[in-house]
Every structure is written in C-alpha cells, then in structure tokens.
C-alpha cells in the first residue's frame, strides 16, 4: 500500500512568507518531526514561479529541506529527506531531524508514493500560486 501526499500552502503571516506543509497519510510531517511551532520551507523556494519544483522526483537522488524548528534550522538543524523515483514509485528516505525535535525521537519512516499520485499533487501545488505576491 502506498503512502499519500498532500501539499498545503500556509498563507503569509506577519513574520514569515507563505510556507509549505507536507501531510502524509493525514499527518503533518513537519509538526510530527520538528514539533509545534516548527516551520515548513518557504513556498517560493519549493514552488518557484516558471520552474519545476525541486519536489519533482527523478531517478537521481537529492536531499530536500522540509522544515525547521521555531528557533531556526541554523541553530538546531533542519528536517531533510532524500527524494528519488524508482519507476512508478517515489521514495522519501534518509531522514535527518533537528536535534531539538522532542516530539519525535526517531526520524519519520521511509515513505513510498505512487508516482502518478505524487506527480499530480506536486503539479497541483505548482499551479496553485494564489500566495505569490506580484508588485
């Protein structure tokens, strides 16, 4: 059985630009691994206008930042994982968690997504650019 990804964009606030949250199987991956008050990556960095998202999975493995604690990743580290496509499967693996993440003493498990569902969700997030601010 495959895991299911949902990408949510949180609106910009007084302190931070719009950011992403990654829900897998109904759970907020960032909050589970980083703790309450943690942040996801800025939407503009992961869903750049006019370019493919780094979330797009290819046969080449690459490490991506998915979150950081409220004290900042420069202080305590980032939530990162490696994304890679294996045929019709997209895998998130090799998790690294901030050292202050008290809510989850272990990294998230390796996740496996149906590539079609994964690609469709990334494409949906790329197309939903309501949060972008244009001068």
pLDDT tens per residue across span 36-48 = 778 889 898 999 8
**Going by C-beta distance under 8 Å and a sequence separation of 6 or more, which residues neighbour residue 67?**
29, 30, 33, 34, 38, 39, 40, 41, 78, 79
pLDDT confidence tier of residue 20, bands split at 50, 70 and 90: very high
Residue 104 has pLDDT above 60, yes or no: no
Cα–chain center distance at 53: 11
What's the pTM value of the predicted model, to 2 decimals?
Answer: 0.86
pLDDT of residue 129: 74
pLDDT tens per residue across span 65-81 = 998 876 655 566 778 99
Of 74, 65, 69, residue with least CA distance to 92: 65
């Amino acid at each position: 059985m495959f895991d299911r990804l949902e990408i949510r964009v949180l609106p910009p606030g007084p302190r931070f630009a719009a950011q992403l949250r990654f829900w897998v199987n109904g759970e907020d991956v960032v909050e589970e691994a980083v703790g309450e008050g943690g942040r996801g990556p800025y939407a503009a960095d992961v869903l750049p206008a006019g370019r493919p998202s780094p979330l797009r999975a290819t046969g080449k493995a690459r490490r991506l930042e998915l979150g950081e604690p409220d004290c900042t990743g420069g202080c305590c580290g980032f939530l990162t994982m490696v994304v890679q496509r294996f045929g019709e499967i997209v895998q998130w693996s090799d998790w690294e968690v901030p050292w202050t993440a008290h809510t989850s003493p272990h990294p998230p498990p390796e996740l496996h997504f149906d590539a079609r569902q994964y690609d469709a969700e990334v494409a949906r997030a790329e197309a939903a650019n309501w949060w972008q601010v244009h001068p």
